[in-house]
Structures are given as C-alpha cells and as structure tokens.
Structure 1
Amino acid sequence: MKHLIRCTLIASGVVASAATLSVVANPGMSDYERWRATTQQEFQSYLDENDKAFIGFLKQRWEPVDTESGEEEDQAPKPTNIPKAPPIYSPVDAPEEKPKDIATEPTPVVSVPVPTPTREPDNTTPEQTPVKVAPQPQIKGPAASINFYGHALRLPYNKAMPRAFSSRPSSDAIASAWEALARSDFKPALEQLSATKTSLSLSDWATARLVSDYSEAVARNADSRIMLSWFMLVKLGYDARLAYNDRLYLLMPADDDVYGVTYFTLSGERYYALPLNGDVRIAGKVYTYGKQHETASRAVAFKVPERFNGAGDIRKRTLSYQEGEETVNVVVSYPAEQIRYLDSMPQLNLPRYPILDLPAATRAELTRQLKPLLQGHSEEVAVNRLLNFVQNAFEYQTDEQQFNTENYLFPLETLHYAASDCEDRAALFSLLVHDLLGLPVVLLDYPGHVAAAVEFTGQVKGDAVVYNGRQYTVTDPTYINARAGMTMPQFAGQSPDVVEVF
C-alpha cells in the first residue's frame, strides 16, 4: 500500500516523506483529514515559478531611494471670521425681489463664535445594534478574531505567520521570510480574505485595512506585521512594496495624489507609506527592490467611490436651523463605525469628497426630511434652501481649530462632527444638490477657501463662472445666509480653479 502511494506521488512530480506516507496510510483519519494533511506537507516543498523568481530577485542588492515628506494640497490659511449676509427671507413670504434688493446692500463682517474643539458632536446618541457577521466557512486550526468596523470576522492563519520576520532587516533576511511564508499553508487565509473582500464590497483601501488588521491580530511584532501584510497584499495582486532601513516599511502606489503621507518615487511611480495602522513617517533613505512580483500590479484605487459600510452601533444627530420664522430639525442616523473607517483614510484630492455617497439609510432619511422643503419651489429657491441648511445647521471651525491639522471631511463626517469648514460644507452641499435636485455642480477652489457653483436650467442673477462653455452660478455654503449668485466678499473678483464633480 505504501509502495503504491509513493509511486503515485512520484509520478505526479511530488516526492513525499516517510512521515507523509504514514499520515496518508493512517486508517484512523477521515478522507478529508488525510487529504488535508497530505496537501499541507506537500505544499511545504512547493514554490511556484513566480515565487522562485521573486525570491531570487529579493536576494540581490537592494537600491537606496530618497523619501519625501507628504505634500499639503492647500497651504493658504482659511478664514476664521466668516462674513454673514442678512438672513434669507422665506421664499413663501417674500418672493424674488428680496434677494435682488439685499444683494446690493453692504455685507457686514461678523465674527462667528468658535466652540470648544471636539471630535464628537454634542447631540449624537448611540443605538445598540447587533454586530454583523460576514458568512464564513468552518475553520480547522488556529484563527484570528477581528472586529472589522462592526463586522465580526474569523480568519485562519498558520504557524509561520506569527513570526513572519524576526531578523535584522536585509535583503537575505527578507527573501528568507518571503520563502517561509510562500512554503507555508497560506492559501486558506488568502481565500478567506478574498471572499471577505467580495462579501463586504471592500474597496482597495478597505482591503488593505483588512489585511493590516489581520496581520496585527496574527503577528507578534511590528516587522512581522509589515512582512505578513506585504506578502498577503502581493498575493492579492497589489503592487505593495517593502522597504527598509533599521525597520521594515510597506508602501503602495495610488491612482490619485495622496497628501500628508511620506513617499518615494521609483520608475516614475510614487509609492506612499499609507496610514494602514496609524501615521508612518520615514526620514532619509530606504532600501527597496526594483522588480515586482509578476502577479502584483494593482494600485490602490481612490477614484472609485466607496461601497463598504461599517456595521454595529447607530448614532443619531439632530441638526437645527431657521427657515424663515420656522425652526427646522433634521435628524440623521448613521453607523458609528463608518465614521471611524472614513477617519482612517489619508487626505485625498478635493474631487474625491463630494462623490462619496451616504449610507443608504442616511441618504433616505435626509431625502425624506429635506425633499418636502424643496418641492413646489423654483430651482433657485430650492438651492437657496439647501444653502441655508448647510450654512446654518453646522458650527464653523477650521480644521486646525478642530483637529489641529488639515482634515477634509466626507459628507457623512460633516453630518457627524461638531463643526466643519469650507471644503467640508461644499462637498455636502454639492452632494445634496446632485441627489435632491439633479443639477450639475462644480467646486470653486480659491486659495484658502472652497465654494460651489450650480448650473441652473434658467437665468439666475449674480456672480457666475463659465467652465467648458457652461455657466455655473456661485453658491457658497460657508458664507452665512448668502444666496445663489453671492461671492464671499474677500474672494470677490478672484478667479478660482474649477473642480468638476457632478
């Protein structure tokens, strides 16, 4: 019997050890256990051709590259005192002549009170909801339990992963660590990571975060975590690149500029030290390899809007403002874990922010409450009502005041945080105009300020910009009480960059 098994394995190109044969022939094991034990031991001696070539390349001399500090998108100071126009008249009580008359009056500058900085809105309340569990197969052997933004996951690992790297960084040590992982039974973990990516609709960024969280749960030291993350991301097809000086670093290219993040340039491509597990700062030179694994070519796509949503606790916030003589209360609810997820993302280009949709339940809730305020009114009046909501339902603070650093907010974050500044309001306002009115919107990017502009189907008086042969009327959701056609006084006469979003 053993002789027959050995002949079969040799014929298939695999030489089995005596230990393997005894495992296969053990009558006390089930067919599955026998197959799994054989497969695991066979895999120990197996490397595919891409891994063999890559390991050989890793053993060669790594080249030094200079790192560069992360750039800032707009370093011009933002206004801290926001001008305030006379209050918007109710469109029902005061028709079209009111905005025309008021626009000709002088615009006084009023200092806006700045509340105490906080990362949590004062009027949110949590609601307990069950943690969502992604469908998962039964796992035999060790597994890591991960709470991935409210989704409870269990992912398998093997004995080579906890100490994926425990040497002083060098090309030989890195090549040996890669080989050890490649010879281990890593495929169950890889398959489950890939299945989770599909089931939770993970973007590239969310996938990289999941791999990082998995490595954090499995690995026993920082370099092992980096090594394991690099290995898994490459096996998932990403152009993840390892670099080292006195420690290991993981860098990845992106399909768009990323700000405030250290990077180096290799063969014309920027590789960013993305904050997968907090900020990463690299000073001076690092060593890296030139040729990438044959299966790894994917950059992190930030231009594709997110589809992933966190689960777990639901927060509620009430936003209050005046519409004429009436106090309007708008209640929004959203997954608290989604805020934590969005906060993990690096700062991106301005156009990335308005296009990130709200969670479906939050979007439906806003539509249900805001749509009746717009129905039956002209486009201009409806836009002015959305301006009034964004201008007056939120406190104003610059990012430096609230977060001590530049921090563009996605629309959901603007609904969450206690305060917001110009680009945050412009992103939320643009999304609301697009969703509720279906009108084209662009952003107006001034030095130190961002506003919006709407393309109306009819003529609207006031300031406008022409972009690609189309006229967009200025709409500034930061200039308190300003109507369509009114530019914030300190930016009047300036020519902003036009950023196309909707």
Structure 2
Amino acid sequence: MKIRTLMLIPALLLSSGLQAESEYEQWRRQKLTDFQAYLDENDKAFIQFLQQKWQPVDVAPARQRDPQPKPVELPKAPKPAPVQPTPVDVSPIVKVPEPAPAVQQRPQPVVVISPPASHLPQVSFDFYGHSIRIPYAKELRKSFSGALNSKSIAAYWQQLAGSPHKDTVSALQAQAKALQLNDWGTAKLFDQFARQLHRDNNSRQLTSWFLLVKAGYDARVAYNQRIHLLLTSEQEMFGVTFFTLSNKRYYAVNLNEQPLKPGKVFTYEGQHEEGRRALDFSNPTRFTASGNTSERQLKFQLDGKDYRINVQYPERYISYFSSFPQLSLPNYFRAGLPAVTADSLLQQLRPVVEGQSELDAANRLLRFVQTAFAYKTDDDQFGQENYLFPLETLHYPYSDCEDRAALFAWLVESLLGLDAVILDYPGHVATAIAFHGNVKGDAVMHQGARFVVADPTFVNASAGMTMPQFAASQPKVIPF
C-alpha cells in the first residue's frame, strides 16, 4: 500500500501541474484576446510606422504677427463739440436689437459620472471651476521608461492601445461636450487629465498624444532630449514653433509648459487613421467657466454727461483665455463675449445709442472705447505681444489698438447691426464701418462697399478720421 501510494504522488503532481498550466494558458489567451480587442487594425499598422527609424525635421522659429512697434503715446484729436443731429442722408436707428435674456444664476460645477458598466478606477481634478471625474485603466498610469527612440515609443503606444482605453476617451469627450468646449478647450481637458496620471513630462506628453489621436485629432510627437506634443490647426498660430510635414504645419502647442526651441527633432512618417482632425479655435466663449463673477466699472463722458458702465464677467475666463496661443486678428474680432457679460454691457449701452443716427451712435461708441480704457502697449503691460479677447480687454487695466478695435467692432455689430472690417496698418489696428447713408471722411473700399474709418484708439476722433501718422499708409482690409 505504501509503495502504491508513493507511486501515485508523482502522477498527482503531474496532473496538478498540467491543470495549473492549463489555467495559466486560459488566462494568457484571455489576456491576449482582450489585448487584441482594443488593439485594432489601425493600431497595428500605426505601430509598424512607429517602430521604423524616425526622420529628422527642422523646427522653424515662431512667427511674429506684426514686428512693427506700436505707438507709445497716443495722439488726440481736438475735443469735439457737442454732438449735433446729422444730415438726413445718414439712416436713423429705429430700434437697437434686444440681447438674449441674461443668465442670472451662477454656473454650477459639472461632474461627469463614469458609465455604470465600467469597473475602472477614476481620477478627479478641477477644470476652471468644474469638478471632473474620469475613469482610467491601470495601464494608462504606467510611466514611460527607457531610452528615447522609435522602439520604446512604439512599445509605449502598444501598451496604451492594448488597455481598455475607450471608456476614458468617451468620458473625456462627453465632458468636453457638456462644457461646450471648443477644440482648444478639449485639448486642455485631455492634458489636465494626463497630468493627474503622470508627473514626468515624457509620460504626460505620450499619454496626451495617444488620447488625442484616439479622440480623432491630428496629434503628433517628436523628440530631441525629451518628448514634445504637436498639433495641426485650422488657424495660423504665432509665437509657437512648428515643423512642416506632408504640407501640414505641426505646432508645438505649449500644453505642458516646456516650449520646443528651433532646431532638429525626430518624428515618424505616416499617420494614424483615427487622428485626422485639426484644432479649431472658433467659439472660445461658448465654454462656461464656473466660479465667482467679477465686476468692473468703466467711466466715460459724453456731451458733458458722466456715464458709468458696470460690467460683470466670470473670473475663470481670464485664466482660460490666457492659455490660448497667439492667433491672427480675425479670431479676436469673431470671439464676442460670454452671454452674462454681453447682456450686462449691451443693456447699459443701449440707452446711449438708442434713437441716434448711425453716425452719431457709432461716434458715441467710439467715445466709450476711446476714453473708458487706459492705453498701454502689450510690451509695457505683458512684456510681449499679446492680443486680447474682448472679455480680456474688459478685465485688464490697459489695452492697446487691436484689443479696442475687436471690442468696438463687436459693439457696432451687436448694437447697431452694421458691418465692420479690420484695418491692419504696420504697427496699428483700427476698424471701418459700412454705413447705410453717405458719411463723409476717410474710407476704404472692400468687395464693392464703402467702409468709413473708425479708430477706437484715436482719442476724440469721430468716424471718418485717420490717426495722423497712418494717414499716408494703405492698410490691409480684413473681413472677419
């Protein structure tokens, strides 16, 4: 009996080992199946691109919008006489358009709840006053390690692509939609999420790159001594380095605070089939930042009467707008104002222009913008060129020509219903208005229409007057 029992022991051990091996093989096959479920054909093809030797490309210096210095001291036109009724050939304003109803309540923080079926852990963070919760797979939290080369970066992409990442991408996209973010705000949201997972630059950049591509964006990474994230854009960017590949500019957007300097970097050929969309910076004020509302009082005088305009705006918009890269002029003129700010400003300026002729109303708006805001160049206020969105012009203590022009053009279109264009001089920006009547003075022609010069930086100047130092210059006429 003892001998038979001893003989059975190896057999039992062998049987147990075979069973254990079988369970391991089942687990391994299941993991491989799960991996293949997330690693689709696009990922497989893309990983092959990444594994190949990366090519060197030249990073171009950041482009400057206008190298000409702006006026430091502003000329003033002679103080105008009290406004007199204009000739009958200037169309009167019958009624100023009513703005949309003001939103009185303070925006509440928005929280995205992960899908009920998701078993993934969640990370929480603040996004301009909103409390955000996003599910993530543990593989997304693994840091990048090893030498910077095509093989290691391809392996990191494969690690991320093989994880259950779709819940994360869907949750980020749902949150961006709920907050009405444009593409730039969405990229910032993705970056803030990546920051919660990783402290080191390379892991953050690679994770942001992966998630943005999976969300459909034409994102790309390049490396020298570190990883850099680059994105294509519908709008030209200034003050941002870039390289050109396949006739597209890839801008080194400063999401992770370390600018890419001109020189050589290495990047891959090819493109992931899912990542085709360029950033679009349109509709920046659609996003509603949560938090406190600030108020600023603007004072100006008209025909011996003092006016005080109290403007309300959400504080967190300022930090949101300050994150934007430098864009071309039309983007600031098209931006407009958040609803709560637009309502408070238009409601108070409506009585100032109500019932006036088009010319008189435009001149009244000119006086407001010319005299209610203190002037300083961007170099003096910020130490660099920094175009302001209209909301920022209402916030900062100083503004210069293009900032005032963008705000004034929005007021003219919102209150008077008149078309305006940008006048871009070397070192200066003004506007011009298409009146319905025959308004005398300096003017430009654009697409068969006559636009009368209206300069919100030329203090006391009325429509039809050009700042003297630019009278001999021919400006670029830019619609927006």
TM-score by length of 2: 0.88
Q: 1:179 aligned to 2:158?
A: yes
Code of the residue aligned with 1:206 in structure 2: it is G
Q: 1:192 aligned to 2:171?
A: yes
The match for 1:43 is 34
CA distance in 2 between partners of 1:214 and 1:467 (Å):
46
Alpha-carbon contact 1:451-1:478 (below 8 Å) kept: yes
The match for 1:426 is 405
CA distance in 1 between partners of 2:26 and 2:171 (Å):
29
Q: 1:387 aligned to 2:366?
A: yes
1:220 positional shift: 3.1
Alpha-carbon contact 1:128-1:312 (below 8 Å) kept: no
CA distance in 2 between partners of 1:134 and 1:205 (Å):
20
CA distance in 2 between partners of 1:317 and 1:154 (Å):
34
Alpha-carbon contact 2:381-2:398 (below 8 Å) kept: yes
User: Aligned match of 2:324 in 342, 345, 352?
Assistant: 345
State the secondary structure of the residue aligned to 1:43. Answer: helix
The match for 1:85 is 77
The match for 1:373 is 352
Code of the residue aligned with 1:345 in structure 2: it is F
Structure (1 or 2) with the larger CA radius of gyration: 2
The match for 2:291 is 312
The match for 1:18 is 23
CA distance in 2 between partners of 1:463 and 1:478 (Å):
16
Alpha-carbon contact 1:379-1:456 (below 8 Å) kept: yes
1:310 positional shift: 1.3
For these two proteins, the number of residue pairs brought into alignment is 441
Moved more, 170-179 or 142-151: 142-151
Please, which runs of 5 or more residues in structure 1 have no aligned partner?
1-15, 23-37, 98-126
Superposed, which structure 2 residues align to 1:42-191 within 5 Å? 42-46=33-37, 47-91=39-83, 94-96=84-86, 131-137=108-114, 140-191=119-170
The match for 1:118 is none
Shift in alpha-carbon separation, 1:141–1:294, aligned structure 2, 3 A = closer
1:20 positional shift: 9.8
Alpha-carbon contact 1:305-1:355 (below 8 Å) kept: no
**1:427-481 deviations in Å (ceiling 9; x for gaps):** 0000010111110000100000000000000011111111111100000000001
CA distance in 2 between partners of 1:140 and 1:390 (Å):
55
1:73 positional shift: 0.8
The match for 1:454 is 433
Identical pairs, percent: 48
Moved more, 377-386 or 324-333: 324-333
CA distance in 2 between partners of 1:39 and 1:155 (Å):
26
**1:224-275 deviations in Å (ceiling 9; x for gaps):** 0001000000000111011011110110111121000010011111100012
Code of the residue aligned with 1:253 in structure 2: it is T
State the secondary structure of the residue aligned to 1:132. Answer: coil
**1:287-334 deviations in Å (ceiling 9; x for gaps):** 101100111110111355552221111111111111121111111111
Moved more, 42-51 or 422-431: 42-51
Alpha-carbon contact 2:295-2:310 (below 8 Å) kept: yes
CA distance in 2 between partners of 1:282 and 1:40 (Å):
42
User: Aligned match of 1:278 in 240, 257, 279?
Assistant: 257
CA distance in 1 between partners of 2:471 and 2:272 (Å):
53
CA distance in 2 between partners of 1:131 and 1:469 (Å):
48
1:85 positional shift: 1.5
State the secondary structure of the residue aligned to 1:160. Answer: helix
The match for 1:246 is 225
Alpha-carbon contact 1:475-1:485 (below 8 Å) kept: yes
Code of the residue aligned with 1:479 in structure 2: it is F
The match for 2:310 is 331
State the secondary structure of the residue aligned to 1:64. Answer: strand
The match for 1:119 is none
Code of the residue aligned with 2:34 in structure 1: it is F
The match for 2:95 is none
Please, which runs of 5 or more residues in structure 2 have no aligned partner?
1-20, 88-103
1:197 positional shift: 1.8
Moved more, 334-343 or 297-306: 297-306
Q: 1:410 aligned to 2:402?
A: no
Alpha-carbon contact 1:161-1:181 (below 8 Å) kept: yes
CA distance in 1 between partners of 2:145 and 2:80 (Å):
65
Alpha-carbon contact 2:86-2:359 (below 8 Å) kept: no
The match for 1:288 is 267
Code of the residue aligned with 2:41 in structure 1: it is E
CA distance in 1 between partners of 2:410 and 2:206 (Å):
40
Alpha-carbon contact 1:164-1:228 (below 8 Å) kept: no
CA distance in 2 between partners of 1:39 and 1:389 (Å):
70
CA distance in 2 between partners of 1:354 and 1:494 (Å):
22
1:500 positional shift: 0.5
TM-score by length of 1: 0.84
State the secondary structure of the residue aligned to 1:322. Answer: strand
State the secondary structure of the residue aligned to 2:333. Answer: coil
Shift in alpha-carbon separation, 1:304–1:338, aligned structure 2, 3 A = closer
CA distance in 2 between partners of 1:17 and 1:348 (Å):
61
The CA RMSD over aligned residues, in Å, is 2.3
